[in-house]
Structure 1
Amino acid sequence: MIRDAVFPPGRRALYERNHYSPAVRANGLLFVSGQVGSREDGSPEPEFETQVRRAFENLNAVLAAAGCSFDDVIDVTVFIVDPETNFEKAWAIVPEYWGEAPYPTLTGIGVTWLYGFQFEIKVIAKLPEARGAR
């Protein structure tokens, strides 16, 4: 099988350097790799809340490259460093990007290390051509 990879504009070098695809289309679904609050050069935003917003913006760029939006997301996994301190801060930002109910499923995982980042979000979305199928 040849993977049907999706690359947002301006981010291909980052993914090639790290040897993974931002997203892969398969069986009517879009599997999006974890998105972090990285700047164009791959460095982390220093402030937590800005990092969360940038992670969602990077996620939205990948979704848009596949013709999707966050409304098409059906499953979310978030990874948060020091969740006791950072979870409520992250969840104060989520409504800016999350949309209306019904919401996607969610798994939240507290971690000790994210390659220099404090927040990561990965999702599975339904592709536009598969939206009518349930």
Structure 2
Amino acid sequence: MVQASSKRDAVFPPGRQALYDQHRYSAAIRSGDLLFVSGQVGSREDGSPEPDFETQVTQAFARLSAVLAAAGCTFDDVVDVTTFHTDPPAQFDTVMRVRDRVIGEAPYPNWTAVGVTWLAGFDFEIKVIARIPDRA
């Protein structure tokens, strides 16, 4: 069983903490047996947006996977997904194609998709809540 703490327990994937430090947020916060993952985008190594949309979505899922792994989780542990889209009707098929490769079979996590007008130069962002598996 995971002990509750009054301090935030930050989780960072390898090699990306400087980017999070620069923007002053944590990749994820572990709270009890839950992991709250910040929005992940399809960025290049320097943090700039990947211009190809399908590659951007694929990279966002890869960044998310790295954060999950840093906390001992996988996509099987994800219970809640929120995605942000700058042009949902034009992007939906591509997002679903990438999602199907990554998320896998039912039962699926719940999912909320939100259309937005601004994502700091990105066209897609994904954030999740995962249950941290008990490895004991």
Q: TM-score, normalised by structure 1?
A: 0.94
Q: Given the alignment of the two structures, is residue 10 of structure 1 paired with residue 19 of structure 2, yes or no?
A: no
Q: Which amino acid aligns with 2:13?
A: P
Report the Cα distance in structure 2 between the residues aligned to 1:81 and 1:88, rounded to whole angstroms.
Answer: 14
Distance in 1 of aligned mates of 2:76 and 2:11: 18
Give the equivalent residue in structure 2 for 1:50.
55
Deviation, structure 1 residue 30: 0.2
Q: Distance in 2 between matches of 1:19 and 1:6?
A: 13
Q: Percent identity?
A: 64
| Distance in 2, Cα, partners of 1:19 & 1:110 | 25
Deviation, 1:89, is 1.7
Q: Note the residue ranges of structure 2 that are not aligned, 5 or more in a row.
A: 1-5
Question: How big is each residue's C-alpha offset from its partner over 1:25-74, in whole Å with a ceiling of 9 and x where there is no partner?
Answer: 00210000000001221011110000000000000000000000000000
Structure 1 runs of 4+ aligned residues shifted over 3 Å read: none
Q: What is the number of residues matched between the two proteins?
A: 131
After the TM superposition, which residues 28-43 of structure 1 pair with which residues of structure 2 at under 5 Å, given as runs?
Answer: 28-43=33-48
Structure 1 segments unaligned to the other structure (5+ residues)? none
Instruction: Find the counterpart in structure 2 of residue 107 from structure 1.
Output: 112
Matched, 1:62 2:67: yes
TM norm structure 2: 0.93
